[in-house]
């Protein structure tokens, strides 16, 4: 049986592990538009590219979905927010473009200006 202090320490460690494992403390955040219209435009496949990159070892990334941005003609959209930088929003992101965003922007810090909206 745990003492009250041991129980609190155990709960705290579990909470910290959850926070870290979900990427909440990451310096890079990636938001994929997942409103109904964006899903119809292919955002589920785009989200999967980012999920796979993280599963294969891409670190320091918090991946989440976002709602409608009201830019249906530019969907799917992906927003990259990095600590200390202006957020970058990419439009018409295909799975291939998502792979390029992973390689060029997230790994090398290169903003792909021709896709920025």
pLDDT in tens, 26-36: 999 999 999 99
Confidence of residue 18 (pLDDT cuts 50, 70, 90): confident
Q: What is the pLDDT of residues 53-100, one digit of tens each?
A: 999 999 999 999 999 888 889 999 999 999 999 999 999 999 999 999
Comparison of pLDDT for 21 and 2, the residue scoring more: 2
Q: What CATH number does the domain containing 106 carry?
A: 3.40.30.10
Range of the domain at 65: 23-115
Is residue 35 situated within a structural domain? Answer: yes
Task: Tell whether 8 is covered by a domain.
Answer: no
Domain count, the chain: 1
Q: Tell me whether residue 46 is in a domain.
A: yes
Q: What angle do CA 61, 29, 44 make, to 5 degrees?
A: 85
Task: Quote the pTM value.
Answer: 0.85
60: left (phi over 0), alpha (psi -120 to 50) or beta: left
Q: CB–CB of 81/31 below 8 Å? A: yes
Q: Could you tell me which of 68, 87, 71 has the C-alpha nearest to residue 79?
A: 87
∠ at Cα 73 (68, 78), nearest 5°?
Answer: 55
């Amino acid at each position: 049986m745990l003492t009250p202090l041991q129980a609190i320490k155990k709960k705290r460690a579990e909470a910290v592990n959850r926070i870290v494992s979900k990427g909440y403390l990451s310096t890079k955040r990636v938001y994929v538009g997942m409103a109904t219209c964006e899903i119809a435009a292919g955002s589920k496949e785009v989200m999967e590219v980012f999920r796979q990159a993280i599963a294969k070892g891409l670190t320091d990334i918090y991946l989440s979905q976002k709602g409608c941005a009201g830019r249906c003609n530019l969907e799917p959209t992906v927003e990259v927010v990095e600590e200390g930088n202006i957020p970058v929003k990419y439009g018409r992101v295909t799975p291939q473009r998502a792979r390029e965003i992973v390689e060029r922007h997230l790994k090398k810090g290169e903003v792909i200006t021709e896709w920025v909206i």
